[in-house]
Amino acid sequence: MEQENRFNKKTVRVKPSPIGKGVYACQDFRPGDQIGPVCGRVIDDPQYGSSYCIDLGHERSLEPHTPFRYLNHGCEPNCQLVVYDIENEANEVIDQEVMVEVLRPIQAGDQLLIDYAWPIEAAIPCLCGSPKCRGWVVDQTLLGELQRTKQTQSTKKMVHKTKKKCDGTKDE
């Protein structure tokens, strides 16, 4: 309950974005600000996966509730998720908290964006619209590997296209 009270609903709101729902700032934030904790359901299953879940480490995931459930990916993120392990006196992790922290200055009305840094198997084309867009929702360090895979595929398609041209309107 306390966690919910800490979250002031006026700091952010969920509204439609160009790619589905998004989370928008209702006030300015500075780098280092903590916008709020991501509340949700903790799942103790290493096999668990969903489009929204957050990897907590220790083979656990967090299925976030609104509003931060709708944080979209951006290749130039202005926020990041930080997982805090909360330990007891014996240094055992007894709880975890995920905090949305600000990376770059945010003005009221800006959409909050994080870098999903997905693995290659999960990569999808990116529609973030940033001038620095990587083209894929994928971990930056894996981008080179992903592009090599995709280049091989597009080369195959080009061969196919050339064939079609020869079959067509050569002599009319």
Q: Which residues bind Zn ion (CB under 5 A)?
A: 75, 126, 128, 133
Shortest distance (Å) from residue 159 CB to Zn ion: 29
Q: Is the dihedral of CA 154, 156, 158, 164 positive or negative?
A: negative
- The residues facing 22 across adjacent strands are 15
Q: How far apart are CA 35 and CA 7, in angstroms?
A: 8
Residue 61 or 72 having the CB closest to Zn ion: 72
The minimum distance between CB 131 and Zn ion, in angstroms, equals 10
Closest distance to Zn ion from the beta carbon of 119 (Å): 16
Cβ closest to Zn ion, residue 67 vs residue 74: 74
Q: How far is CA 117 from CA 75, 87, 171, in A?
A: 9, 27, 51
Residue (98 or 128) nearer to Zn ion, CB: 128
Phi, psi (5° rounding) for residue 114?
-125, 160
Shortest Cβ distance from residue 71 to Zn ion (Å)?
14
Minimal distance, residue 67 CB to Zn ion, in Å: 22
Measure the CA–CA gap between 137 and 125, rounded to whole angstroms. 6
> Comparing C-alpha atoms, which of 170, 168, 69, 50 is closest to residue 118?
50
Residue with smaller CB distance to Zn ion, 62 or 114 = 114
Which pair of structure tokens corresponds to residue 1? 């309950």
For Zn ion, the closer CB: 40 or 115: 115
